[in-house]
Structure 1
Amino acid sequence: MHRALIYISQIASLILKEMLALVKDPANRALLFMPAITQALLFGYGATYDLTFAPYAVLDQSRSAASTEILARLDGTGVFIRTATLTSSSQIAEQIDTGKALLVVSIPDDFEARLATGMQAPLQLILDGRNSSTAGLASAYVGAVLAAYNKTHGASPTVNVETRAWFNPNLESRWNMMPALIAALSMMQTLMLAALSVAREREQGTFDQLLVTPLTPSQILIGKALPSMFVGIIQSTLIFLIIRFWFQIPMSGSVWLLYLGLAIFTLASVGIGLSVSAVSLTMQQAMLYTFMLIMPLMLLSGLLTPVGNMPKILQIITYINPLRFGVDLVRRVYLEGATFSDVVFNFLPLLSVAAVTLPLAAWLFRNRLS
């Protein structure tokens, strides 16, 4: 028991030292939080999307010549790719919830009969509002296809679209972008802080002092990891508060589940940062390695473009990117109200990354200490 208390006390002392090193300089204090706040506001007001690929599912209850022609026109655009043909309305939720389809085209059984009698025939689009701008563009594309169909067949009868967006009723683009920033912006700072932690010790000449302390490599690892995680969680909280109360984007899911996911995600990010820090001899090297990592991590995360739009080889590579699963987890919990069972798949890759990078960092520390 006494040895355990000493072990914890030593880790606490190292954590305190790290926190003091982070906050003792006023410039550092501003850099810890101002970039995250500024970028959250900029992304909230300035982010846009383009449509290049729109997977969709079909529920054709009419099975008529008219519905077949409309679906053929959609398939012929090169943008809409049919991923499923449904047989019941109960199957729609599964397509949207899992992200298999960006939209579902639902054609009622009286579709052709209404056209034949000169009445307007409704065609329902059910959109995934979590990809708001993409969904809005997809809806506009469908409208253009139907306008061409109406023009081909004369002014009357006409087909009109009834649109319903799930998880984002007004298809506001910031509803899609902003929740993802809870993970993305905090990762940038967390990765940098963790990567600079040991490199800073070497440049300041305090790493040799660390070597002569009774701290073990595991204690050094924990002492270096927890302050970076703490800062990352604080930054995520600041961004969360901006999203919730400044932009007033309502949250549908559990705050506790959101923070559990953020804790695991931040742990994986810190593991990558500490591994970079352990192999970097100077702060300049650590910053260079970190900048080299941040851009691919961002581009392959699904933050700006859906992962499904990427080539297959890149989709496979994203499985080692913790930001991909952090972004997906935050979006689903925040917008969709997903439960633990819905997002458990996201926890597994994050834990796997942490399970690889943290022991790797400890091994590198041990070699540096030996």
Structure 2
Amino acid sequence: ESNGLFRQVATLSDARQIAEVIDEGRAMFVVSIPAEFASRLAQGQSTAVQLILDGRNSVTAGLASGYVSSIVGSYNRTLRQAAGLSGTGGVQIERRAWFNPNLESRWSLMPTLIASLSLIQTLLLAALSVAREREQGTFDQLLVTPLTPMQILVGKAVPSVMVGLMQSTIILLIIRFWFQIPMAGSIVTLYLGLLVFTVAAVGVGLSLSALSLTMQQAMLYTFLVVMPLMMLSGMLTPVRNMPEVLQVATYANPLRFGVAIARGVYLEGATLVDIVPHLIPLSVMIAVTLPLAAWLFRHRLG
């Protein structure tokens, strides 16, 4: 901690606690120091320190590994100068990256595309589907039917959800068979999470559509929304590394939870129980955005 690069978040006494702090994202890495560490150094012998990295974000893990290596190298030089240790003595690092053994950037990035590309597609489809009909005047014909605004919106949402899941399937096949990235979790769990995520994304798209009178407005609103959603999703920069204000803002971002589900199931082998904390906020978004879109339609048309 003295170098200002790292902050100690916990002191673990049991190796089984390592998985907990890594999985929950509380720690970027864990340094495991053996019990005989000090005694072996005092005897002029080599000893090993295990560095367990969170490989879900390969860039951050690579930087952390480099910094730790530099710190250990400096510590070794200090030991040799102060205690006259031989060149073969000192501390050696044994690195182990969980969920991404070789710290390949594509392992971290590709699963996130399942959610991010689907978000763009579903937002556009949902936003343009209603705006186009309103622009052409055919939406007025739907309003004279016995259907309620909510029923009309559900009918518009179903095709967008199906297209989003189809696109997710195509991306999933490319990741698995073209890029040869193995899937650690259950395909059923992944699709359940993607279904809830896609419905939430469609709800946002329909809300944007309710605010739009023309297709141009719908496209403009969509592109204005997509970039902040991508930047605040944790796809490139971990959410915990963002300023606190932005961390709070990410709770209103469906892509944050879609990325977490895709990475968690695909790379970590997360179970249904593991992704429930991500499904809950997505379900809240669905419960808010769909009624909001229906209310906006009623309000604008009234």
What TM-score, normalized by structure 1, do the two folds share?
0.77
Q: 1:253 aligns with which of 146, 160, 185?
A: 185
- Is 1:81–2:7 an aligned residue pair? yes
Counterpart of 2:138 in structure 1 is 206
| Secondary structure of the corresponding residue to residue 81 of structure 1 | coil
Number of the residue aligned with 2:19: 93
1:368 CA drift (Å): 4.3
Structure 2 CA distance for aligned equivalents of residues 81 and 129 of structure 1? 19
The answer to whether the 8 A contact 1:211-1:369 is kept is no
Q: Does 1:240 align with 2:166?
A: no
Which of these residues, 111, 118, 121, is aligned with residue 37 of structure 2?
A: 111
- 8 A contact 1:167–1:336 mirrored in 2: yes
Per the TM alignment, residue 298 of structure 1 is displaced from its structure 2 partner at its CA by 0.7
Q: Which of 306, 309, 322 is the equivalent residue of 2:238?
A: 306
Aligned residues: 296
Deviations for 1:165-223, whole angstroms, at most 9, x for unmatched residues? 11111111111111111001110111011111111112223223333344332221111
Provide the residue aligned with 1:215 in structure 2.
Answer: 147
Which residues in structure 2 correspond to 1:39-58 (within 5 Å)? none
1:363 CA drift (Å): 1.5
Alignment deviations for residues 210-244 of structure 1 (CA, whole Å, 9 cap, x no partner)? 33344332221111101111111111111111111
Unaligned runs of 5+ in 1: 1-74
Partner of 1:137: 63
Distance (Å, rounded) in 2 between the aligned partners of 1:130 and 1:340: 19
SS of the counterpart of 2:237? coil
* Unaligned segments of structure 2, at least 5 residues: 81-86
What per-residue deviation string (whole Å, max 9, x for no partner) do you get for residues 254-281 of structure 1? Answer: 1001000000000000001001101101
Question: Structure 1 residue 153: deviation in Å?
Answer: 2.2
Q: One-letter code of the match for 1:266? A: T
| 1:275 aligns to 2:207 (yes or no) | yes
For 1:102-181, list aligned pairs within 5 A.
102-154=28-80, 155=87, 157-181=89-113
- Aligned 8 A contact 2:150 2:291 in 1: no
- Pick the aligned partner of 2:223 from 291, 294, 312: 291
Identical amino acids, percent of aligned pairs: 67
Is 1:365 the equivalent of 2:291?
no
Q: For the residues of structure 2 that align with 1:201 and 1:123, how far apart are their CA atoms?
A: 64
Q: 2:163 aligns with which of 206, 231, 243?
A: 231
- Indicate conservation of the 8 Å contact 2:99/2:268, yes or no: yes
Cα distance in 1, alignment partners of residues 258 and 45 from structure 2: 48
Partner of 1:54: none
> How far apart, CA to CA, are the structure 2 residues paired with 1:324 and 1:96?
18
Give the conservation status (yes or no) of the 8 Å contact 1:150–1:156. no
In the aligned structure 1, how far is the partner of 2:278 from the partner of 2:263? Answer: 12
Shift of 1:156: 5.1
**Whole-angstrom distance in 2 between the partners of 1:345 and 1:90:** 22
Q: After alignment, is 212-221 or 100-109 more displaced?
A: 212-221
Aligned to 2:83: none
